Amino acid sequence: MTLTAKDKKMVKAFWAKVAGKAEDIGCDALSRMLVVYPQTKTYFSHWKDLSPGSAPVRKHGGTIMGGISLAVASIDDISAGLLSLSELHAFQLRVDPANFKILSHNILVVLAVLFPNDFNPEAHVAMDKFLAAVGRALSEKYR
């Protein structure tokens, strides 16, 4: 399920529309993930406040969206573009890759909430494929 030229065009166009709200998207997606999938909280036991919209959640949501932005810019070779992030996740963070799907789902929910008209089925399938590709790139160095 590789990204076609059509997918890449759609992702870039859609990202251009939503990038202005990247921090809000990241904050809301991460907040939802921690509430709806409480097992993900195990990765953040070092944070004082895990409640939706808290300062560490907002900051980290922004960090994650920075990575997504980088992936959009590297869409022709996501693995190369995300190489150092991939090594970070493999050797230091060691986040179970199943969680990439969980966070991706929550990003899609937030896109639906914030952009109900732009996030049509064609944008949805392109973003779903793109986020899956990002997850794959991040897991590349795991074993």
Partner 1 sequence: MVQWTDFERATIQSVFEKMDYDDVGPAALSRCLVVYPWTQRYFGNFGNLYNAAAIQGNPMVAAHGKTVLHGLDRAVKNMDDIKATYAELSVLHSEKLRVDPDNFRLLADCLTIVVAARMGAAFTADVQRAFQKFLAVVVSSLGKQYH
Q: Which residues bind partner 1 (CB under 8 A)?
A: 31-32, 35-36, 52, 105, 108-109, 112-113, 116, 119-122, 124-125, 128
Q: Which is nearer to partner 1, 86 or 104 (CB)?
A: 104
- Using only C-alpha atoms, what is the Rg of the chain? 15
Q: Which is nearer to partner 1, 52 or 66 (CB)?
A: 52
- Find the shortest distance in angstroms from Cβ 5 to partner 1: 16
What is the distance between the alpha carbons of residues 6 and 113, in angstroms, rounded to a whole number? 24
- Find the shortest distance in angstroms from Cβ 22 to partner 1: 18
What is the distance between the alpha carbons of residues 83 and 140, in angstroms, rounded to a whole number? 9
Which residue's structure tokens are 């921090």? 23
- Find the shortest distance in angstroms from Cβ 115 to partner 1: 8
Q: Which is nearer to partner 1, 77 or 118 (CB)?
A: 118
Q: Which is nearer to partner 1, 14 or 86 (CB)?
A: 14
Contacts of 84 (CB under 8 A, 6+ apart): none
Q: Which is nearer to partner 1, 98 or 125 (CB)?
A: 125
- Find the shortest distance in angstroms from Cβ 72 to partner 1: 19
Tell me how far apart the 2 most distant CA atoms of the chain are, in Å.
43
What's the Cα-to-Cα distance from 81 to each of 29, 137, 140, rounded to whole Å? 23, 9, 12
Tokens coding 94: 């060691």
- Find the shortest distance in angstroms from Cβ 42 to partner 1: 17
